[in-house]
Amino acid sequence: MSYEEIKAGICDVCHKMWQLGWVAANDGNVTVKLDDGTFFATPTGISKSFITPEKLVRIDAEGKVLEANDGYRPSSEIKMHLRCYKDREDVGAVLHAHPPTATGFAVAHIPLDRYDMIETVVSLGSIPITPYGTPSTYEVPEAIAPYIQEHDAVLLENHGALTVGADLISAYYKMETLELFAKINLVAYQLGGPKEISRENIDKLIKLRSYYGVTGRHPGYRHYAEDGKLDDK
């Protein structure tokens, strides 16, 4: 895929994120890893609805700007993205957004770790909440590090959501799945609480990942307490 095609794909995803209401004002950021080990990143201070190819910046693995038009610099959250790439060689793209329902769970400190929906059991498994970190600091990458090895989607405490994928579309689909799962669980809680699939059937569903060609990591069967630690109950 050419640089022009990759840039066009990033712009398309940014526009979709804005259209879906996952970001407002200057929220959210997207990065894609290139074959030479550098990255395209969305710039800071610009609405995702206004992103165009010439506004994207290219950086190295340390966050140093290699190419950028005047006035553009990478997102202030780039440290979080680079930590994902550093810790996961299989990751080719990272998305950060504030999808309202999923972020509501992050604000309420309620992990999305119920194995109650077939598609999410297969694609993501449980979705933990990472500990609080001040945006734009190294607190955030340090907070996500213990979780990103086993999870392709996490909630950021009082902040938003983060997904990773082998490529841009995979990372985007995981964010879509995360937000839909959050919406369905919100309704389920209003109706008396989500009911888990049996453990036997959960294990069967997880084994189907290879059959369906699902890429990325999966935590297996795992629940979390509100503080982000494993819940052994």
* Gap between the Cα atoms of 157 and 67, Å rounded: 33
CA distances from 16 to 34, 181, 221 (A): 22, 18, 31
pLDDT at 93: 98
Is residue 229 included in any domain, yes or no? no
137 close to 208: Cβ distance less than 8 angstroms:
no
Strand order in the sheet with 93-97: 65-67, 57-59, 39-41, 29-33, 93-97, 160-165, 153-156, 129-130
Domain range enclosing 49:
3-212
Measuring CA to CA, which residue among 98, 95, 68, 90 is closest to residue 80?
95
The most distant pair of C-alpha atoms in the chain lies apart, rounded to whole Å, by 57
pLDDT at 225: 75
CA distances from 206 to 123, 178, 211, 221 (A): 8, 17, 10, 9
Query: The tokens 């259209």 sit on which residue?
Result: 19
186 close to 104: Cβ distance less than 8 angstroms:
yes
pLDDT at 31: 98
Is residue 222 included in any domain, yes or no? no
AA letter at 232: D
Is residue 179 included in any domain, yes or no? yes
Is residue 133 included in any domain, yes or no? yes
Is residue 220 included in any domain, yes or no? no
Is residue 142 included in any domain, yes or no? yes
Is residue 227 included in any domain, yes or no? no
pLDDT at 121: 98
Residues of the chain with pLDDT under 70: 226-233
The backbone torsions φ and ψ at residue 166, rounded to the nearest 5 degrees and listed phi first, read -65, -25
pLDDT at 231: 64
pLDDT at 229: 63
Is residue 198 included in any domain, yes or no? yes
Coil/strand/helix, residue 209 = helix
Q: Considering its fold, how many domains does the chain have in total?
A: 1
> What CATH number is given to the structural domain containing 58?
3.40.225.10
pTM: 0.95
